[in-house]
C-alpha cells in the first residue's frame, strides 16, 4: 500500500518546501564526493576541528555508568555550575530554576519558538535554522536586512523603526554574536545602545552566544550585562568545547520570565524528557572554573584568529570584499565585483557560485542565500575548519606565537583551499 499517495494523509503544510538543513546537506554532499575519490575541502559545515578538552573527556568516562533519567531542566549540579558561570562572566544573578539544559541549543530554540507567542525579529544573514524552525511552528518572522557597510549588524534605529509601528506587540529578537555566518560581533557600546531601545519596547532577546568564548578579543561583551531582565542567554558545548556531537545546549532565562522557562520544561518533559546523563556530568567539568580549560580555549581562539587573518589576507589580495572575522570560525566574502566575469560562466546567483567553486576547485562553501540573503547577492559563508585541531593543539608553541610555518603545518588544508579559491578567481 502506498500511504503517501493516500488523499487523506498529507504532510503538515508548514513543512512545504523545507528540506534537510543546508549545513547538514553540504556535509552529506562532501562525503559523497569523497567516496567518489574527489579531493574535497570541507569549508561547508561549521564544526569545531578541536578535540574535547581532557578534563571533560575524563569526567565523561568516569560517568559512563550514569543511566537514570535526570530532572527535565537538567542535572542540579550542572545548573548550579551554570548559575556560577553566569555570575562569573556577566555579574548577573540567577537561580537554578532559570536554567534549562537540552540536547543542543538548537532544540531549546525550537521549544522557545513554540512556547513564545510573538513576532520573531531576525537580522539577516542568520544561521540556517532559526527561520525554518519558525516556519515549522507557524511563527511569523520579521526579517531585518543588515548591510556590509554596517558590518552586517543591526542598529538601535532599525529596532526602533520596527517597534514604533506597533509598540505593544510582543516580540522576540534573535541576536547571534560572534555571528554565524559573518564572523562579526557587537561592541559593548553597540550592545548597550541596542539594550536601551529593546528595553523601551520590552522586546525579549535570545542572545545566541554559542561562539562567545571564541571571540578573538578573549573578552566578549554580552547584552546580558545591559539587559538582564529581557535577555535569554543561549550557549552550549558544541563550538568552544569541540563537542557538537555530544548534543548539550543551555538556556539561562531571566527570573521574571519563570513562566516561560517552566513552559519550556513542560514541552521538554513531553518530548526529549532530559538530556543524556553522562554528558551532563561531563558538562559540569566544562563549565566549572578551571585554568586548564581556559588555556585550551585560549589556544583554540589563537589558532582560529591567526588562521582567519591568513585567509582574509589572501582573499583581500583579490577583488573579493571580505570583513576580518572577530570570532568563531566563519567569514562571509562578497564576490560581487566578479559579477560580469561570473556571468560569462553562467553564474548568476550565490548557489551557482558555490556549485561552480565546488566543481572547479573541490572547495565546499555555502551560498549567502542559505542564510537568508537575496539569492542574487554573490555572497558565501566559508567555515575555516578543515584542519586537524588535535595536531594544532599538540604543536602549539610555548610562546603562543603562531607563524606561517605553524599554520601551513597544522591548518594547511584550509590555507590550501583558500589558495585554490584565489587561483580560481584570478583565472576568471
Ligand atoms: C549560531 C548557532 N546557533 C546555534 C547552533 C546550534 O548549536 P547546538 O544545537 O549544537 O547547541 C549553531 C550550530 O551550528 C550555530 O551556529
Q: Which residues have any ligand 1 atom within 6 Å of their CB?
A: 46, 104-106, 127, 176, 180, 208, 210, 236, 238, 244, 249
Question: Regarding beta strands 330-331 and 231-236, do their DSSP bridges make them parallel or antiparallel, or are they unpaired?
Answer: unpaired
CB 152 within 8 A of CB 125: yes
pLDDT in tens, 255-306: 999 999 999 999 999 999 999 999 999 999 999 999 999 999 999 999 999 9
Instruction: List, in order, residues 6 or more apart from 13 with CB less than 8 Å away.
Output: none
Specify the pLDDT at position 245: 97
Residue matched to cell numbers 518546501: 17
The residue contributing the CA closest to ligand 1 atom 5 is 106
Atom of ligand 1 minimally distant from the CA of 249? 11
Specify the pLDDT at position 67: 97
Instruction: List, in order, residues 6 or more apart from 427 with CB less than 8 Å away.
Output: none
- Please determine, looking at this structure, whether the domain spanning 54-289 carries the CATH number 3.20.20.210: no
Specify the pLDDT at position 277: 98
Residue 56 CA to residue 101 CA, distance in Å, equals 17
For 125-203, strand residue ranges (E) read 141-145, 171-176
24, with CB counted inside 10 A (0-12, 13-18, 19+), is: middle
Select from 102, 210, 246, 249 the residue to mutate for testing ligand 1; criterion: most ligand atoms less than 8 Å from CB: 210
Atom of ligand 1 minimally distant from the CA of 235? 11
Q: Which residues of the chain have pLDDT under 50?
A: 1
Specify the pLDDT at position 353: 95
The alpha carbon of 9 and the centre of ligand 1 are apart by a number of angstroms equal to 33
Q: What CATH topology corresponds to 3-51+292-426?
A: 3.90.1150
The alpha carbon of 57 and the centre of ligand 1 are apart by a number of angstroms equal to 21
Specify the pLDDT at position 1: 46
Specify the pLDDT at position 5: 59
Domain coordinates in residue numbering, the chain: 3-51+292-426, 54-289
Other CB atoms closer than 10 Å to residue 76's CB: what's the count? 13
156, with CB counted inside 10 A (0-12, 13-18, 19+), is: middle
Whole-model pTM: value is 0.95
Specify the pLDDT at position 32: 82
Specify the pLDDT at position 11: 74
The alpha carbon of 382 and the centre of ligand 1 are apart by a number of angstroms equal to 16
Amino acid at each position: 500500500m502506498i500511504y503517501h499517495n493516500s488523499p487523506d494523509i498529507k504532510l503538515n503544510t508548514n513543512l512545504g518546501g523545507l528540506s534537510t538543513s543546508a549545513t547538514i546537506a553540504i556535509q552529506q554532499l562532501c562525503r559523497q564526493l569523497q567516496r567518489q575519490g574527489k579531493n574535497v575541502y570541507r569549508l561547508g559545515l561549521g564544526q569545531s576541528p578541536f578535540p574535547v578538552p581532557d578534563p571533560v573527556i575524563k569526567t565523561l568516562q568516569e560517568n559512563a555508568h550514569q543511566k537514570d533519567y535526570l530532572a527535565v531542566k537538567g542535572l542540579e549540579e550542572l545548573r548550579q555550575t551554570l548559575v556560577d558561570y553566569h555570575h562569573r562572566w556577566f555579574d548577573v544573578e540567577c537561580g537554578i530554576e532559570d536554567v534549562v539544559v537540552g540536547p543542543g541549543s538548537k532544540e531549546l530554540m525550537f521549544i522557545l519558538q513554540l512556547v513564545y507567542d510573538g513576532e520573531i525579529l531576525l537580522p539577516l544573514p542568520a544561521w540556517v535554522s532559526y527561520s525554518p524552525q519558525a516556519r515549522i511552528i507557524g511563527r511569523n518572522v520579521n526579517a531585518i536586512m543588515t548591510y556590509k557597510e554596517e558590518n552586517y549588524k543591526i542598529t538601535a534605529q532599525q529596532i526602533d523603526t520596527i517597534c514604533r509601528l506597533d509598540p505593544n506587540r510582543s516580540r522576540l529578537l534573535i541576536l547571534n554574536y560572534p555571528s554565524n555566518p559573518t564572523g562579526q560581533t557587537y561592541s559593548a557600546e553597540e550592545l548597550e545602545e541596542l539594550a536601551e531601545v529593546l528595553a523601551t519596547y520590552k522586546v525579549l532577546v535570545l542572545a545566541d552566544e554559542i561562539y562567545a568564548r571564541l571571540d578573538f578579543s578573549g573578552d566578549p561583551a554580552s547584552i546580558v550585562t545591559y539587559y538582564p531582565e529581557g535577555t535569554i542567554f543561549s550557549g552550549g558545548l558544541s563550538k568552544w568545547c569541540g563537542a557538537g556531537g555530544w548534543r548539550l545546549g543551555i538556556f539561562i532565562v531571566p527570573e521574571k520570565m519563570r513562566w516561560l522557562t517552566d513552559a519550556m520544561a513542560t514541552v521538554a518533559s513531553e518530548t526529549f524528557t532530559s538530556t543524556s546523563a553522562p554528558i551532563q556530568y561531563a558538562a559540569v567539568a566544562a563549565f566549572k572554573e578551571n585554568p586548564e580549560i581556559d588555556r585550551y580555549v585560549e589556544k583554540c581562539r589563537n589558532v582560529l584568529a591567526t588562521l582567519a587573518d591568513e585567509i582574509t589576507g589572501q582573499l583581500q589580495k583579490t577583488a573579493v570584499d571580505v570583513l576580518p572575522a572577530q570570532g568563531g570560525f566563519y567569514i562571509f566574502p562578497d564576490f560581487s565585483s566578479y559579477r560580469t566575469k561570473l556571468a560569462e560562466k553562467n553564474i548568476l546567483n550565490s548557489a551557482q557560485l558555490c556549485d561552480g567553486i565546488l566543481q572547479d576547485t573541490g572547495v565546499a562553501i555555502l551560498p549567502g542565500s542559505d542564510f537568508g540573503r537575496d539569492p542574487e547577492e554573490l555572497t558565501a559563508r566559508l567555515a575555516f575548519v578543515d584542519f586537524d585541531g588535535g595536531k594544532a593543539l599538540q604543536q602549539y608553541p610555548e610562546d603562543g606565537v603562531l607563524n606561517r610555518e605553524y599554520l601551513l603545518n597544522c591548518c594547511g588544508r584550509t590555507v590550501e583551499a583558500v589558495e585554490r579559491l584565489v587561483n580560481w578567481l584570478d583565472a576568471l
